[in-house]
C-alpha cells in the first residue's frame, strides 16, 4: 500500500461516505475510528520513548535485511496499542494478520494462523494474557526458532515433528502485563513497552488532528475542554469529539466550550472527566468504607463490577488524577477525592497536607 494512500483521510472518508450513502448503508463509529488512526510516525502523537526505540529497532532490522523482532505493548485500554501495531505494519510495508488471545482456543487454531503467514508478515495478538497454556507453549518455539512443534500420537509412542514456519514478527498487546507469564514475556526480544497516559497537550493535538480529518470546526476553548476531560486517553478524546460534533450539529451550535459542556453533561462526564462508574467507585469507597483501605475483591462485590474492569479501566485514571491510592493494605480515597465529590474531608487526610 502506498504511503500516500492515507494522506488525505478526510477525502477518503468523504468518498467512501458518498459511496455508502448511495447504497443507503450506515457508516458506523468503528469505521470513523479507522479514519482517525495515524498510519505514519509523524502523525503519531506522544509516547516518544516508545516511538524512538521502535523506530530505531525497525531501521536497524531493515538495514541488516532482517525482519523486526517480536514486540509487546502494554498499558490501559485506549492508549494506542493496536494503533501502533497497524502503524508499524504500514511503515514497514508489511501485511498484518490480526487476532486475539481468546480467539485462539486450540493449538490447531494457532498452527493454522502461523502456517498461513507469508514471509515477513506481522501477526498481531491482542489481549495476549488470555492465551491458554497449551497454545502458549506452541508459541515459544515459533517465536524463538521459527518452528512449529507438532505432537503426533499419545503416550509413550508420541513423537514430535517440527515444521519450519515463514519468518514473522509477533506484535502483542495486553492491558494486564502481570498476567503474561515470564517465559512468554522474555521471548519478546524486540522489547516490552509500557504505554503511558498522554498529557493534556498531546491529547489536544490528537483532538485537533481528528477534528481536521472529520472536517469539523472546533474552537480553541472547545478543544481544551475535550482534552481536559478525556482521561489522558486518545480513544476517549476521539469518542468525545464525535459526540460533541453530533450535539453541535443537531442543536445547530458552534463547537465551542459551552457546546462541549452540554454534550458531555448528557454523557454524565464531569469536569475532571469522571463518568458514573468512576464516581460510584469513589462514593462507595468513601461512604461504605470510610475512604479505605479496602481490598479490590471487596470493592468488586460492593459495586457488582468485575475486578478486572476496576483494575484496568476505573482505577488507573483515578490514580493518575490523584483521587485514589493503591496501598499494600488496599485502596484509599485521597483528600482530592473527598473535595471533588463534596464530602467533608476526614481529619487524618487534612493533616497530611499541612
Distance CA 233, CA 275 (A): 14
CB of 88 to ligand ADE, least distance (A): 13
Distance CA 132, CA 110 (A): 11
Part of the chain binding ligand ADE (CB under 6 A), chosen from 42-50, 111-119, 259-267, 326-334? 42-50
Residues numbered 188 to 247 that lie near ligand ADE (CB under 6 A) are 206, 234
Q: Which is nearer to ligand ADE, 199 or 268 (CB)?
A: 199
Q: How many residues bind ligand ADE (CB under 6 A)?
A: 9
Part of the chain binding ligand ADE (CB under 6 A), chosen from 41-49, 111-119, 263-271, 344-352? 41-49
Q: What is the 3-state secondary structure (H, E, C) of the chain?
A: CCCCCCCCHHHHHHHHHHHHHHCCCCCCHHHHHHHHCCCCHHHCCCCHHHHHHHHHHHHHHHHHCCCCCCEEEECCCCCCHHHHHHHHHHHHCCCEEEEEHHHCCCHHHHHHHHHCCCCCCEEEEECHHHCCHHHHHHHHHHHHHCEEEEEECCHHHCEEEEEECCCCEEEEEECCHHHCCHHHHCCCCCEEEECCCCCHHHHHHHHHHHHHHCCCCECHHHHHHHHHCCCCCHHHHHHHHHHHHHHHHHCCCCECHHHHHHHHHHCCCCCCCCCHHHHHHHHHHHHCCCCCCECHHHHHHHHCCCHHHHHHHHHHHHHHCCCEEEECCEEEECHHHHHHCCCCCCHHHHHHHC
Q: Which is nearer to ligand ADE, 55 or 254 (CB)?
A: 55
Residue 290: CB atoms within 10 A of its CB come to 11
Q: Are 208 and 225 in contact (CB under 8 A)?
A: no
Q: Which is nearer to ligand ADE, 80 or 316 (CB)?
A: 80
CB of 198 to ligand ADE, least distance (A): 7
38 contacts ligand ADE (rule: CB under 6 A): yes
Distance CA 93, CA 90 (A): 5
327 is catalytic: no
Residue at grid coordinates 482505577: 315
CB of 117 to ligand ADE, least distance (A): 26
CB of 75 to ligand ADE, least distance (A): 12
45 contacts ligand ADE (rule: CB under 6 A): yes
Q: Which is nearer to ligand ADE, 83 or 334 (CB)?
A: 83
> Residue from 80, 101, 291, 292 that binds ligand ADE (CB under 6 A)?
80
81 is catalytic: yes
160 is catalytic: no
75 contacts ligand ADE (rule: CB under 6 A): no
Q: Which of 35, 83, 174, 175 is catalytic?
A: 175
172 contacts ligand ADE (rule: CB under 6 A): no
> Residue from 13, 32, 39, 44 that binds ligand ADE (CB under 6 A)?
44
Q: Which of 235, 245, 279, 331 is catalytic?
A: 235
CB of 210 to ligand ADE, least distance (A): 7
83 contacts ligand ADE (rule: CB under 6 A): yes
Q: Which of 35, 37, 39, 81 is catalytic?
A: 81
Q: Which is nearer to ligand ADE, 110 or 213 (CB)?
A: 213
CB of 272 to ligand ADE, least distance (A): 21
Distance CA 205, CA 36 (A): 13
115 is catalytic: no
> Residue from 46, 75, 190, 222 that binds ligand ADE (CB under 6 A)?
46
Part of the chain binding ligand ADE (CB under 6 A), chosen from 36-44, 100-108, 259-267, 298-306? 36-44
Distance CA 244, CA 251 (A): 10
Catalytic (active-site) positions? 81-82, 126, 175, 235
Residues of the shown chain interacting with ligand ADE in the complex, contacts defined by CB under 6 A:
37-38, 44-46, 80, 83, 206, 234
Amino acid at each position: 500500500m502506498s504511503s500516500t494512500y492515507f494522506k488525505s483521510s478526510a477525502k477518503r472518508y468523504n468518498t467512501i461516505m458518498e459511496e455508502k450513502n448511495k447504497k443507503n448503508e450506515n457508516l458506523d463509529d468503528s469505521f470513523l475510528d479507522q479514519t482517525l488512526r495515524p498510519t505514519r510516525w509523524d502523525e503519531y502523537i506522544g509516547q516518544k520513548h516508545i516511538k524512538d526505540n521502535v523506530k530505531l529497532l525497525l531501521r536497524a532490522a531493515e538495514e541488516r535485511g532482517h525482519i523486526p523482532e517480536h514486540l509487546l505493548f502494554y498499558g490501559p485500554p485506549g492508549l494506542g496499542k493496536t494503533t501502533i501495531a497497524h502503524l508499524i505494519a504500514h511503515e514497514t510495508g508489511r501485511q498484518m494478520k490480526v487476532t486475539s488471545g481468546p480467539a485462539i482456543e486450540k493449538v490447531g487454531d494457532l498452527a493454522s494462523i502461523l502456517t498461513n503467514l507469508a514471509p515477513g508478515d506481522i501477526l498481531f495478538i491482542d489481549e495476549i494474557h488470555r492465551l491458554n497454556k497449551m497454545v502458549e507453549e506452541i508459541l515459544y518455539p515459533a517465536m524463538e526458532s521459527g518452528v512449529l512443534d507438532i505432537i503426533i500420537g499419545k503416550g509413550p509412542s508420541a513423537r514430535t515433528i517440527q515444521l519450519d514456519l515463514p519468518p514473522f514478527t509477533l506484535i502483542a498487546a495486553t492491558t494486564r502485563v502481570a498476567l503474561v507469564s515470564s517465559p512468554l514475556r522474555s521471548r519478546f526480544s524486540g522489547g516490552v513497552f509500557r504505554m503511558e497516559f498522554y498529557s493534556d497537550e498531546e491529547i489536544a493535538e490528537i483532538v485537533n488532528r481528528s477534528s481536521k480529518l472529520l472536517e469539523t470546526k472546533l474552537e480553541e476553548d472547545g478543544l481544551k475542554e475535550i482534552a481536559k476531560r478525556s482521561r489522558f486517553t486518545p480513544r476517549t478524546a476521539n469518542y468525545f469529539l464525535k459526540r460533541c460534533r453530533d450535539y453541535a450539529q443537531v442543536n445547530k451550535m458552534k463547537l465551542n466550550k459551552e457546546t462541549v459542556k452540554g454534550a458531555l453533561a448528557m454523557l454524565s462526564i464531569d469536569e475532571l472527566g469522571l463518568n458514573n462508574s468512576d464516581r460510584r467507585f469513589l462514593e462507595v469507597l468513601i461512604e461504605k468504607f470510610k475512604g479505605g483501605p479496602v481490598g479490590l475483591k471487596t470493592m468488586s462485590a460492593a459495586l457488582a463490577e468485575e475486578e478486572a474492569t476496576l483494575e484496568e479501566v476505573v482505577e488507573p485514571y483515578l490514580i493518575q488524577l490523584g483521587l485514589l491510592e493503591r496501598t499494600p493494605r488496599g485502596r484509599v480515597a485521597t483528600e482530592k477525592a473527598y473535595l471533588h465529590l463534596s464530602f467533608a474531608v476526614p481529619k487524618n487526610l487534612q493533616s497530611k497536607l499541612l
